[in-house]
Amino acid sequence: MKATLPFTLILLSSVTPGLGHRLDEYLQATTISVGKDRVDAQIRLTPGVAVYPIVFASIDMDADGLLSQDEQHAYALRVLHDLSFTIDGARLAPTLVSAKFPAMEDMKEGQGEIQINAAVDLPGGGTHRKLVFENHHQPAIAAYMVNCLVPLDPDIHVKTQDRNYQQSLYQLDYVHTGARVGPASVAWWTGANGLLCAVAALLFTRLALLWRHQRA
C-alpha cells in the first residue's frame, strides 16, 4: 500500500493543472474505455461563463440564437475531427455514437455540459498495445482532462498512462492477454495494479466534480 501512495500523488498533480482559472476556460474531460476490439470515448465539454459566447457562436452557425439538431450534430462531428486516435502507430477514425446538449440557460451559467460519445474500431494486433489520444479542439481556451476506466474485459491489463502537461496528449500502454479468466486474472485485479486503476478513475471523477463546484 505504501508503494501506491507516491503514484497516487503524482496522478493527482497530473490531472489538476490550473484549478483556479476556470471561468475563462473550456473544460474538455475525456474518459476512455478499452475493449477487445473497440475503444469508447466520452468527451464532456463545459464552457466557463467567460468563454460561453465563443463556444456558443461556434455551434450556432446561422447566428439565430438557437441550436438546431443539425447544428448540434455538425458541432459534434467537428469535435471528433479535432481528436486523434492511434493504436500501435496506426491512425484510427472515430465514429460518432451520440451527442447530448444541455439547455442554453445552463450553458450561460457555466453549468451546461455537452456530452459526446465516440467509438473507434481496433485492428488486430499483438499482446502489448499502445493507444495514443490527442485533443486539439479549441486549444486557445481549452482545459483538457483525460483518463481511462478500469477495463471490463479481465484479459485487458492497463500498464501505464502518460500525459503531457496540458493533457492534450495521452498515451495508454496495455496488455491484452487473450487468455480465459482464471486465478491469475483475479489476482491481478485484486493486486496493486487494479487498485491504481480504480484510484485513477475515482480521482478523475472527483476532480471533475470539484472543478464544477469551484466554478459555481
Under 8 Å between Cβ of 176 and 36:
yes
CA pair distance 74, 103, nearest whole angstrom: 17
The SS3 of residue 89 is: coil
Q: 194 is written with which cell numbers? A: 487494479
Summarize pLDDT for 145-162 with one digit per residue, the tens. Answer: 999 999 999 999 999 999
What is the distance in angstroms between the CA of the first residue and the CA of the last residue of the chain? Answer: 36
Q: Which grid coordinates are listed for 36?
A: 477487445
What are the domain boundaries of the chain? 20-215
Phi-psi region of 138 (alpha: psi -120 to 50; beta: other; left: phi over 0): left
Each residue's pLDDT expressed in tens, for the chain with a length of 216 residues:
444 333 333 343 344 443 444 789 999 999 999 999 999 999 999 999 999 999 999 999 999 999 999 999 999 999 999 999 999 999 999 999 999 999 999 998 888 999 999 999 999 888 999 999 999 999 999 999 999 999 999 999 999 999 999 999 999 999 998 734 343 333 333 344 444 444 455 555 555 555 555 554
How far, in Å, CA of 150 to CA of 92, rounded? 22
